[in-house]
C-alpha cells in the first residue's frame, strides 16, 4: 500500500494507490475525497477581513495549499508567551461512551460527523454517544472517534475563545492525536480522517496476528524499565517464543511508562512487580502492542510530497518539532514502531528560562490524561492548563 501524505500549511492530505488491506473498504478516489466538505477555519483578529472565525467552505485547491506565508503572516508581531497557546491532542485509550455529547450545539460539529460517516462507511456519532463500549474500544473505531471528537473540541474552543486558536504557536498529539495536531487548523479535513481510518485498520490487523497488549507501569526511582523488558523477553524465550517483543512503548512522565509486547512478557512483568520495583502495573484496554516491533506489518505506507506545518508541531518519534518536509515524512512512517516520547515532548514544548511565563495550554479531546502527564512533568506549565470538555456545555 502506498500513501502520499501532504501537510498543507497547518493541515494534511493524502493520495492513495496500490494494494489494500485485507477486508478493507474500497478506497475512494481523489475526486470522491475532494467532493466531501473541506471546512477551513480562517483566523484573524479582523473578522471583516477574512470572514467568520467559525469556519467557511473551501477546497483543497485554495490559497491554503500555497507554501509561501501570506503578507499578513509575515507582518504578524510576536506575542508574549503568556499571550500564546498550545494545543494537546489525546490518543487511543482516551475514548469513552458519551464523548462528543457536549459538542453538538457548536457550529459545524454535526457536519463533521456527517462527513465522517461517508468516509468511514458507518455512523460514528451514535457509537461515540451511546456505544456499545466494546465496539468503541476497537482500534478500527476508537481512532477515528478520538480524531473527530478532538477536532470537534477545537471547534468548541474556537467558539468560546477564538484567541486560543488565533494565538496558537505549537501543537502536539499523542499517537493518533498527532494527526489531529497536524490538521486542527482546518475545521475538518476528510483525507486526514481517511488516513486515520487506514492506520486504525492496519493496526487492528497487526494486533490480531499475535496475542499482545500494553501495560501501564509506575515505578520506583530504582526501577530499570529496559532491563525489566529484557528479563521478560528472556522469560518468553524459555517458553519457546521466537523473537519475543517487550519494550517501552510510551514515555509518559518521570517513572511513568507504558510497556508493550507479547502477552506472556506482560504477564511476567505483572507477576514480578515487587522484584522489578514497580509500584503499579495495570493492563490497558487496547488490542495490541502499539509502538513496538509487533506493528511492523502495519507500517507499509510510503509517505511523499510532504510540507512542514507552519506552527510548531512535535513528532512522537524524537520529541522534536518538524523542521522540513523530509522530517515529517520519515517520522510519520516510523511512528507505529517507535515509542511515543511524550515526556520528552512536553519538556521541548514548555522549556523556559527562569522567570519566563508559560503559554495557555488546552487539551482538546476526550479525557484529561495529557493534563495529568503535564502536571507530573511541569507543574508551572500545568497552572495554565485547561481541558476542553467534550460531554457538557454551557447554555
Q: DSSP letter string over 194-256?
A: HHHHHHHHHHHHHHTTS-EEEEEEEE-TT--HHHHHHHHHHHHHHTT-SS--EEEEEEEETTE
What the block records as the C-alpha cell of 244 is 519475543
- The three cell numbers of residue 191 are 483525507
Catalytic residue among 159, 189, 235, 291: 291
Task: Tell me how far CA of residue 376 lies from CA of 219, 279, 366, 370, 380, in angstroms.
Answer: 14, 16, 19, 10, 10
Site of grid cell 523530509: 326
Q: State CA 103 to chain mean position distance.
A: 19
d(CA 315, CA 177): 11
DSSP state of 263: H
Question: 139-160 and 109-120 are packed helices; what angle lies between their axes, rounded to 10 degrees?
Answer: 160
Contact 198, 19 (CB under 8 A): no
| 175 is known as an active-site residue | yes
Strand, helix or coil for residue 147? helix
d(C-alpha 367, C-alpha 370), whole Å: 8
The residues with which 6 forms a beta bridge, in sequence order, are 13
Is 335 strand, coil or helix? helix
Q: Is the CB of residue 85 less than 8 Å from the CB of residue 164?
A: yes
Alpha carbon distance 249, 293 (integer Å): 10
393 is catalytic: no
Q: Which of 150, 175, 287, 315 is catalytic?
A: 175
Phi, psi of 313 (to 5 degrees): -115, 135
Whether 83 contacts 167, CB under 8 Å:
yes
| CA distance linking residue 218 with residue 155, whole number of Å | 35
Which three cell numbers, joined as nine digits, stand for 45?
Answer: 483578529
Active site residues: 175, 291
Amino acid at each position: 500500500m502506498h500513501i502520499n501524505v501532504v501537510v498543507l500549511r497547518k493541515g494534511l492530505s493524502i493520495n492513495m494507490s496500490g494494494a489494500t488491506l485485507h477486508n478493507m473498504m474500497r478506497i475512494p478516489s481523489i475526486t470522491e475525497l475532494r467532493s466531501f466538505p473541506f471546512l477551513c477555519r480562517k483566523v484573524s483578529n479582523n473578522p471583516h477581513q477574512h470572514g467568520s472565525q467559525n469556519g467557511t467552505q473551501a477546497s483543497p485547491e485554495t490559497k491554503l495549499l500555497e507554501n509561501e506565508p501570506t503578507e499578513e503572516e509575515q507582518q504578524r508581531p510576536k506575542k508574549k508567551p503568556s499571550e500564546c497557546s498550545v494545543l494537546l491532542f489525546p490518543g487511543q485509550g482516551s475514548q469513552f461512551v458519551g464523548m462528543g455529547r457536549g459538542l453538538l450545539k457548536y457550529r459545524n460539529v454535526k457536519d463533521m460527523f456527517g462527513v465522517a460517516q461517508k468516509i468511514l462507511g458507518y455512523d460514528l456519532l451514535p457509537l461515540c454517544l451511546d456505544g456499545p463500549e466494546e465496539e468503541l474500544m476497537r482500534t478500527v473505531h476508537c481512532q477515528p472517534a478520538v480524531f473527530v471528537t478532538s477536532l470537534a473540541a477545537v471547534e468548541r474552543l474556537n467558539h468560546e475563545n477564538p484567541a486560543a486558536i488565533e494565538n496558537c504557536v505549537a501543537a502536539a498529539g499523542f499517537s493518533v492525536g498527532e494527526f489531529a495536531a497536524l490538521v486542527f487548523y482546518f475545521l475538518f479535513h476528510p483525507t486526514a480522517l481517511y488516513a486515520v481510518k487506514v492506520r486504525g485498520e492496519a493496526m487492528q490487523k497487526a494486533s490480531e496476528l499475535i496475542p499482545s497488549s500494553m501495560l501501564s507501569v509506575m515505578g520506583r526511582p530504582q526501577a530499570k524499565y529496559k532491563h525489566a523488558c529484557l528479563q521478560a523477553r528472556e522469560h518468553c524465550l524459555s517458553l519457546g517464543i521466537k523473537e519475543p517483543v517487550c519494550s517501552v512503548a510510551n514515555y509518559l512522565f518521570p517513572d511513568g511508562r507504558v510497556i508493550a509486547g507479547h502477552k506472556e512478557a506482560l504477564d511476567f512483568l505483572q507477576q514480578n512487580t515487587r522484584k522489578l520495583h514497580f509500584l503499579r502495573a495495570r493492563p490497558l484496554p487496547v488490542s495490541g502492542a502499539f509502538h513496538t516491533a509487533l506493528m511492523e506489518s502495519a507500517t507499509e505506507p510510503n509517505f511523499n510530497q510532504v510540507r512542514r506545518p507552519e506552527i510548531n508541531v512535535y513528532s512522537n518519534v524524537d520529541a522534536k518539532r518538524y523542521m522540513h518536509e523530509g522530517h515529517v515524512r520519515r517520522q510519520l512512517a516510523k511512528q507505529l514502531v517507535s515509542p511515543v516520547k511524550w515526556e520528552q515532548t512536553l519538556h521541548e514544548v514548555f522549556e523556559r528560562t527562569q522567570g519566563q511565563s508559560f503559554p495557555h495550554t488546552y487539551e482538546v479531546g476526550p479525557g484529561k490524561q495529557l493534563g495529568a502527564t503535564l502536571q507530573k512533568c511541569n507543574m508551572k506549565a500545568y497552572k495554565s492548563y485547561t481541558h476542553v470538555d467534550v460531554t457538557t456545555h454551557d447554555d
